[in-house]
Amino acid sequence: MQNKETVLVTGASQGIGAATVRLFLERGYRVVATSRSATKAGFEPSADLAIVDGDIGKEETAKNVAQTAIERFGSINHVVNNAGIFSVKPFTDYTADEFQSFVSTNLVGFIFITQLAVKQMLVQGTGGSITTISSSLVDNPIAGVTASVPMITKGGLEAITRSLSSEYAKQEIRFNAVAPGIVDTPLHTNTPRDFMASLSPMGTISDAKDIAEAVVFLTKARHVTGEVLHVDGGAHVGRW
């Protein structure tokens, strides 16, 4: 790839984030990877990889990530807003502190890094893309997966994705989301496999690279914006 493009990936230390970092590097991109413990994620050293530790819900972290991208690679072309926290419990058991944590990581983290990236893309004048990880539970809640409060934030991410895709269409800055179903990540280490498979109409379990492939597709799909791409074995369609 000539004039390599730079991708920022949040929540990069494991699961979908780590798979996304590795896939972009394989495809010839430069990557700035960030999470609370990204330097401990075991990435192979590379001239095309910069790593920034920090809480993405804090403005200082977003500034460090953006500054690292500019100083190290000279541009910001794409962002993958993968950082997110999730828990399952009855609605009445969620606490105010848990809600604030969801907002900080899932929403505030999106805003800080995306604002800085868009400002830089506008200066560069060559467009770009923002791809955000949502959840198929936004469109198709499952009674046995009680995640109502974190879905407030995921639904909000889909809403702002559509709004911004319209706001910045003329500048060719594209905004899309990937909505996974059940994914085999460290989050589900103790989840029974049979139960995980039952959450997909296809009866299959995605792995992190399946989601990373969808992210890379949206990053490259220069006429796709305002799209929520479901990678969920058909779960978003409805009952099965």
User: Using H for helix, E for strand and C for coil, what is the string for 149-211?
Assistant: HHHHHHHHHHHHHHHHHHHCHHHCEEEEEEEECCEECHHHCCCCHHHHHHCCCCCCCEEHHHH
Residue 237's pLDDT band, with cuts at 50, 70 and 90, is: confident
Strands 173-180 and 183-184: unpaired
Stated as kind and residue range, the H or E segment containing 111 is: helix 109-124
Counting the structural domains of the chain, the total is: 1
**71-83: string of b/e by CB count within 10 Å (b at 16+)?**
eebebbbbbbbbb
Q: What is the pLDDT of residues 154-179, one digit of tens each?
A: 999 999 999 999 999 999 999 999 99
Domain ranges, residue 94: 6-235
Per-residue pLDDT at 1: 43
Per residue in 89-127, pLDDT (tens digit) is 999 999 999 999 999 999 999 999 999 999 999 999 999
Whether 160 is in a domain gets the answer yes
Token look-up 């198929």 returns 136
pLDDT at 123: 98
What is the overall mean pLDDT for the chain? 94
Q: Give the angle 214-172-216 at the CA atoms, nearest 5°.
A: 15
Asked if 12 and 21 touch (Cβ cutoff 8 Å), the reply is yes
- pTM of whole model > 0.85? yes
Q: Is 193 or 118 the better-scoring residue by pLDDT?
A: 118
End-to-end CA distance of the chain: 43
Indicate whether 1 belongs to any domain.
Answer: no
Residue 152 lies in a domain: yes
CATH code assigned at 46: 3.40.50.720
**Which token pair is 55?**
């809480």
240 lies in some domain = no
Nearest Cα to 173, choosing from 118, 101, 115?
Answer: 118
63: in domain: yes
Contact by Cβ (8 Å): 228, 39 = no
Identify whether 43 is part of a domain. yes
**Is 150 a member of any domain?**
yes
In sequence order, the 6+-apart residues with CB closer than 8 A to the CB of 215 are 20, 23, 80, 82, 131, 133, 178
Q: Residue 27 pLDDT > 50, yes or no?
A: yes
